[in-house]
Amino acid sequence: MLTEDPLRTRTARAAGEPTDIQAVEPITTTDALAAVCERMAAHPFVTVDTEFLRESTYYPLLCVAQIATPEEAVVVDTLADGIDLAPFYALMANERVVKVFHAARQDIEIVWHQASLIPRPIFDTQVAAMVLGYGDAISYDQLVQRITGDNLDKSHRFTDWSRRPLTPAQIAYATSDVTHLRDAYVALSEDLARRGRTNWVDEEMEILTSPSTYRADPETAWERLKSRVRKPKELAVLIEVAAWREREAQSRDVPRGRVLKDDVIGEIALQAPTTPERLAGLRSLPKGFERSRWGQDIVEAIKAGLARDPKTLPPIERSRPMANGSATVELLKVLLRMTAERHGVAAKVIATVDDLEHIAADDEADVRALKGWRRELFGDKALALKHGQLSLAVERGRVIAVERTV
């Protein structure tokens, strides 16, 4: 647990001096955790961060959890013998308390995996910063520096958080992540309200709090792969082999790449070897792999893919030929940059290049850039530009949009 003098902290920060924060021992018992979570539940928001390892596992190993309110901050040793994290997860599920994260996806994934729940309601300072024009996916330390002027010590970013005991330097580092997050949250919330963009962030939080964002379904594992499949049978093999890898990685609790690399799955889908001998002919697999249990499993997955009814497969997305398609996308990129600069919003949060390509090909494209606040800000103008109802011009060194009568 950490304590601080709020007046001393504000004075020191204004003078550019280090804040007077003293670290004590982290929480290591269930009773202590329950007591602090009960106190924190009385506040309108808590800031949250986690330290974890996943380099050698499929599922992230939670090592430390940090939580802060405007009055206190604590570091929880989640690997302490006998500690039950139920009070922490109850706080995460408490809908009267906003949980504030920076780049929340991995933190939420950990809670989802460990406790089968999604923290609600949440606020992601990285998303809020993008909506307010701080740039694409701004890092936490950069955001803190821009809002508070403080420069964070990131020397422990890649430390081994599973080793015990935790050092005072580690505890201080972990705590600074949630104490500075309080200042960032307050500043961003006020700016969002002032500019009428609070609901923009709320829309993004719906995605981050959807269980489908975190479910690792083997049957949809192929969707994250970049492949060159063009035929139904290739797609079918890709789906089956990717599903086998996902199940294997989950059961062994190892990273997907340790089971089979992405590019190997792509090659298998294209070649579809149905015997161990043909599998051995793939240069991307180590010598002798075909004789292993995994080699036989892959052959069976290939056969299952080839046996699938093509009518049950999802459609293969192909680029649509269109007149001046590339030129249209380039014009949409200019419009996107102009819109982002004019409204002070990160271009990435308005639309992706993939969105622009879909809009260029289809007025009814199912992309976020044509929905909600994004459509009002950019989508309608993108369609108008595409159909000649809007043109781009340069005026006094700036790109402007000019309405046209067609």
320 pLDDT above the threshold of 60: no
Residue 201 has pLDDT above 70, yes or no: yes
Contacts of 208 (CB under 8 A, 6+ apart): 104, 105, 108, 122, 124, 127
Q: What is the pLDDT of residue 16?
A: 37
The DSSP secondary-structure symbol of 161 reads T
- Per-residue pLDDT, 25: 83
Cβ-contact 264, 292 below 8 angstroms: no
**Six token digits for residue 259:** 């089971």
**Residue 14 pLDDT > 70:** no
Of 63-67, 191-195, 283-287, 368-372, the poorest mean pLDDT is in: 283-287
Least-confidence region, from 1-5, 156-160, 314-318, 391-395:
1-5
Q: What is the residue extent of each domain of the chain?
A: 2-213, 218-312, 325-403
CA neighbours within 13 Å on the CB side: how many for 338?
Answer: 21
- Residue 78's pLDDT is what? 98
Superfamily of domain 2-213: Ribonuclease H-like superfamily/Ribonuclease H (3.30.420.10)
Buried b (16+ CB within 10 A) or exposed e, 234-251: bbbbbbbbbbbbbbbbee
Q: Provide the pLDDT for residue 326.
A: 86
Q: What are 207's two structure tokens?
A: 């995605």
335-344 per-position pLDDT tens digit:
999 999 999 9
More confident residue, 20 or 190: 190
Lowest mean pLDDT among 145-159, 201-215, 312-326, 329-343: 312-326
pLDDT over 60 at 401, yes or no: yes
Region 325-403: CATH code? 1.10.150
Q: Which of 132, 127, 128 is nearest to 343 (CA)?
A: 132
Instruction: Please classify residue 31 by burial: count the beta carbons closer than 10 Å to its beta carbon, then call 0-12 exposed, 13-18 middle and 19+ buried.
Output: exposed
Question: Once rounded to an integer, what is the mean pLDDT over residues 151-163?
Answer: 85
Residue 123 reports pLDDT greater than 50: yes
Look up the CATH number of domain 218-312: 1.10.150.80
Between residues 279 and 20, the one the model is more confident about = 279
User: Mind listing the pLDDT tens digit for each residue in 53-85?
Assistant: 988 999 999 999 999 999 999 999 999 999 999
Distance, first Cα to last Cα, the chain: 66
Q: Dump pLDDT digits (tens) for 240-282.
A: 999 999 999 999 999 999 999 999 999 999 999 999 999 999 9
Task: Say what the pLDDT of residue 324 is.
Answer: 55
Cα–Cα dist 183/101, whole Å: 12
E-assigned strand segments in 315-397: 390-395
Is 218-312's fold the same as 325-403's?
yes
Q: Residue 194 and residue 304: Cα distance in Å, rounded? A: 57
- Report pTM: 0.85
* Entry field: residues in the chain: 406
Question: Which residues have C-beta within 8 Å of that of residue 85, sequence separation ≥ 6?
Answer: 33, 65, 76, 78, 114, 115
Per-residue confidence (pLDDT) for residue 13, from 0 to 100: 40
| Average confidence score pLDDT of the chain | 90
The predicted pLDDT at position 162 comes to 95
Tell me the sheet residues that pair with 395: 398
Q: Of 119-133, 233-247, 310-324, where does mean pLDDT reach its minimum?
A: 310-324
